[in-house]
Structure 1
Amino acid sequence: MNDNFDRAPGAGRSRNHPADPGLLAASGDGDAKTTLFNQREPLRQPRTSPPFSENNISDMIGSGGDCKRQNKPQQSANANNASVSRGSNDVDSLVKTSKLSATAPEFVPSGNNLYEDSSSYDDYESDYSEPSLASTVTEFLAHLSSSPGSFESDVEYITSIFNSWVTTEELLQELVELIYTESTAIPNFAYTGARLCNYLSHHLIVSPPSGNFRQLLLKRCRQQFEQRDAAVRGDPEIQKKFHSFVLFLGELYLHLEIKSKNGPPNRANVLLDALKDLMKSLLSNPVDANLICAVKLLKLTGSVLDDTWKESGKPHMEEIIQKIEKILLDATCSRDVRQMLLKLVELRSSDWGRVRASAASNATPENDPNYFMNEPTFYTEDGTPFTAADPEYAEKYQEILDRQDYFHDTPDPGDNGNEEYDFDDEMDPEIEEAFESFCLESERKRQQ
């Protein structure tokens, strides 16, 4: 029983028993223990490997071995001795072949490539490069379009930038083209663009032999003007661009000033004839888009054109109105456009809605039915309304004034009757406006 009992640790618990029991009989007990221990299943490797020292790493790299072979207990002593000797040799060789210097101006790790990100530096420089004339003009015009009220305060600064930038004929032509393009492309910018063109025509310093800013601008407008007959019959996109040009030219005629030697500045008469021809071209092809553009142009410049042509004895406005009346008789346009044309004819018959000063001064309750139109409405104590048109207006109005004077002269009890209470100085205009807004808001909430 003692012979069969094995006292070795783990004896009898081995999962892999020897296939031939004769192997145990052929050797001694010690050999049998050793054979059984060696034939056991190898221990499970740890989940995390212990850290390697620099000598072990250099030894593995130098010898080409793997981690498993270095971890064997049978070779640990030889591996340590070999690593010490090989490590010292590797250090000596690295020192001899190294290009590092203690006096170098800076240290750059070997893993970094100095030239691999050169494109990123180029992109950085391109993002922060100097702006071009086109981008500067576009930015300025976008600012004026979004904030037209700042024109007076910003136009001088904008002009100073252009004077420092535009110094050659080529740059001046580019500036003219940019301003013309943006003025006819940005919606509702024709008015501000025309004012800017007028200011630049008087304050830009550069004046090449080919012409100053105003002359180059008029040449650019003439190029588009010569294409009017084809544009009014083009596709909707071409017509839209042409209509923007027509309205910009109308604003330019109203705002572009030409200095005269004696007297005030004059308008550009060349634009006067151009507007007449543009009007005839629009009415020659009476589609809705062309007719709407003609109505807008006449509402914009009709009074000025009519006065100028009357002074020179030219019946151009009469011819235009007659042409519109013929279009109304043909009734080829839509109903809405037809109403616009009718309103335009009525507007011209009323002298473009203007009220002459002489007629206003001679107005009386007998000859002007609207004489009391803007007079206030008062109410009596019983709630009866009365206005300046009532025969008893003067008497009742005087009673109201007397009552106001009575309250105005009433002394303030808090002051013991020594000072008058002035209703007019009770609130300053800002406080009064805020109080009225508060009352209106309270009334609106109460109605909801």
Structure 2
Amino acid sequence: MNQNFDRAPGAGRTHSLPADPGFVATGPPGGDGQGAPLFNQREPLRQPRSLPPFSENSGDAAGEDCKRQSRPQQSANANSMSASRGCHDVDSLVKSSKLSASAPEFVPSGISPYEDTAIYDDSDSCYSEINLDEMVKEFLHHLNSSPGTFESDIEYMTGILNSCVTTDELLQDLVELIYKESTAIPNFSYTGARLCNYLSKHLAVSPPSGNFRQLLLKRCRTEYEERDVAVRGDPERQKKFHCFVLFLGELYLHLEIKSAKGPPSRAQILLTALKDMMISLFSNPVDSNLICAVKLLKLTGSILDDTWKERGQSHMEELIQRIETIVLDATCSRDVRQMLLKLVELRSSDWGRVRAAPAASNATPDNDPNYFMNEPTFYTEDGTPFTAADPEYAEKYQEILDRQDYFDEFSGENGNEESDYEDEMGPEMEEAFEHFCLESERKRKET
């Protein structure tokens, strides 16, 4: 076989010698001596993506080939020139360099070191206002979802606040955040009031403008002064005011003020504020205002009543009279009217409180109406009931015990039940039972 046969896949079957691109073979004998090239010259390679394409007026293909052939030579010349220059500039570059091997770190020129001012701020506060806002909201929502963790988490939270809230501005922001969340989160007024009481005692910052408790009461006073407008506002404004009223009621019950003499006392300024706000609610007796007043009185009514009685004031009687007048004259709904009547009934029963019952050692049938409550009731042969309150109860009760032997009769009943059970098995049941026993024995032997 001819050695010049090209075995490349898809190659043309030719007996001619392979030629380089541009190689021209001579024609057959007797021809003109000219021939077509065996392989057409390959098209120029695609330009690299990092280089701009040649313009349309860059010349013909021959000019492009010349440029491509001249580039390697130019690059070599440029590299040799730069190398020679580099050799002469090394000493001057080293002498003018400001780099040091003993430097703590290397920072390239034109790049400033990264620094998070919100976290690594060397100012008085360790958190910016945005971070304080997010942190307080996250903690309050955690307490709202897990109120049982209040005692275990409040100390940790207070420690963080003491390290961060160190200025008057940050303290005012903290008070505003807690106030808004306590009056916006549903059913959070109780936990919010406990939080305010704890922070008023353990928050260290106390700028000239006032401590936490003073700033909180000042913030509440702003809302308190708008009460007459709020009770007549739109439903959204009324709802916001009602949340504030219930929060203030919880704050009165939980906020403690240290006293130089004796135990801590409640903030008396809140006592007057609660009375004025209930008067404002009753001045516009729509359903929403009346429901809010009922909730507030159920929450604080017993404490307010006792405090006013100790001072010889009749504010509670005046409020009850207003409620009775509203029940008769106001155009409130039937359900709200029923709530008001129940509230009046609750107050007449001393707010549902039960006074301490006499001690068991001092209880007698005369001073304790429940003295015989847990004693059993018996009946005589003619059907007459008698209890421990009857004079002859002890004697008759002993006769009953002597006449009936509970233990013997109980064992006798058990024996009768067993015999009855045996008698109830008829022939069919006995046959089925025997068949069951035989079948069980057969299966046991097979296994």
Distance 1:126 1:305, change over 3 A: same
Alignment match, 1:185: 184
Alignment match, 2:158: 159
Offset at 1:328?
A: 1.1
Amino acid at match of 1:207: S
C-alpha separation in 2, matches of 1:368 and 1:319: 35
Offset at 1:236?
A: 1.0
Offset at 1:190?
A: 0.8
SS of 1:272's equivalent in the other structure is: helix
TM-score with structure 1 setting the length: 0.61
Amino acid at match of 1:279: M
Alignment match, 2:173: 174
Trace 1:253-264 onto structure 2 (pairs within 5 A): 253-264=252-263
1:89 aligns with 2:62: no
C-alpha separation in 2, matches of 1:335 and 1:150: 41
Q: Is the 8 A contact 1:195 1:256 kept in 2?
A: yes
Amino acid at match of 2:31: G
SS of 1:91's equivalent in the other structure is: helix
Offset at 1:169?
A: 2.1
Amino acid at match of 2:289: N
C-alpha RMSD of matched pairs (Å): 5.0
C-alpha separation in 1, matches of 2:71 and 2:333: 100
Alignment match, 2:228: 229
C-alpha separation in 1, matches of 2:33 and 2:146: 102
Alignment match, 2:136: 137
C-alpha separation in 1, matches of 2:252 and 2:364: 35
Alignment match, 2:103: none
Gaps of 5+ in 1: 1-8, 11-27, 106-113, 377-386, 407-448
Cα deviations across residues 183-221 of structure 1 (Å, max 9, x unaligned)? 111111111111111111111222222222111111111
SS of 1:30's equivalent in the other structure is: coil
Percent sequence identity over matched residues? 60
Distance 1:126 1:350, change over 3 A: same
Alignment match, 1:200: 199
Distance 1:168 1:50, change over 3 A: same
Trace 1:201-216 onto structure 2 (pairs within 5 A): 201-216=200-215
Offset at 1:168?
A: 2.2
Q: Is the 8 A contact 1:287 1:333 kept in 2?
A: yes
Cα deviations across residues 39-92 of structure 1 (Å, max 9, x unaligned)? xxx99x99xx897899xx99x99x9578xx58xxxx9xx95x985554122232
Distance 1:211 1:53, change over 3 A: closer
C-alpha separation in 1, matches of 2:180 and 2:322: 32
Alignment match, 1:280: 279
1:266 aligns with 2:265: yes
C-alpha separation in 1, matches of 2:328 and 2:287: 15
Alignment match, 2:31: 30
Trace 1:234-313 onto structure 2 (pairs within 5 A): 234-313=233-312
SS of 2:299's equivalent in the other structure is: helix
TM-score with structure 2 setting the length: 0.61
Offset at 1:332?
A: 0.8
How many positions carry a matched residue from both structures? 336
C-alpha separation in 2, matches of 1:372 and 1:153: 44
Farther off after superposition, 280-289 or 130-139: 130-139
Alignment match, 2:316: 317
Offset at 1:161?
A: 1.5
Distance 1:271 1:371, change over 3 A: farther
Alignment match, 1:21: none
SS of 2:351's equivalent in the other structure is: coil
Amino acid at match of 1:91: A
Amino acid at match of 2:219: R
Q: Is the 8 A contact 1:363 1:371 kept in 2?
A: no
Cα deviations across residues 217-267 of structure 1 (Å, max 9, x unaligned)? 111111111110001001111111111110010000000111122221111
Amino acid at match of 2:76: V
Amino acid at match of 2:313: K
Trace 1:361-400 onto structure 2 (pairs within 5 A): 368=369, 372=373
Farther off after superposition, 170-179 or 318-327: 170-179
Alignment match, 2:3: none
C-alpha separation in 1, matches of 2:234 and 2:245: 16
Alignment match, 2:382: none
Distance 1:305 1:86, change over 3 A: closer
Gaps of 5+ in 2: 1-11, 14-28, 100-107, 121-126, 377-386, 412-447
Farther off after superposition, 130-139 or 362-371: 362-371
Cα deviations across residues 397-446 of structure 1 (Å, max 9, x unaligned)? xx99989xx9xxxxxxxxxxxxxxxxxxxxxxxxxxxxxxxxxxxxxxxx
Alignment match, 1:383: none
Trace 1:351-430 onto structure 2 (pairs within 5 A): 351-358=350-357, 368=369, 372=373
C-alpha separation in 2, matches of 1:401 and 1:180: 69
Offset at 1:271?
A: 0.7
C-alpha separation in 1, matches of 2:405 and 2:82: 112
Offset at 1:276?
A: 0.5
Distance 1:156 1:335, change over 3 A: same
Amino acid at match of 1:162: L
Amino acid at match of 1:215: Q
Q: Is the 8 A contact 2:365 2:371 kept in 1?
A: no
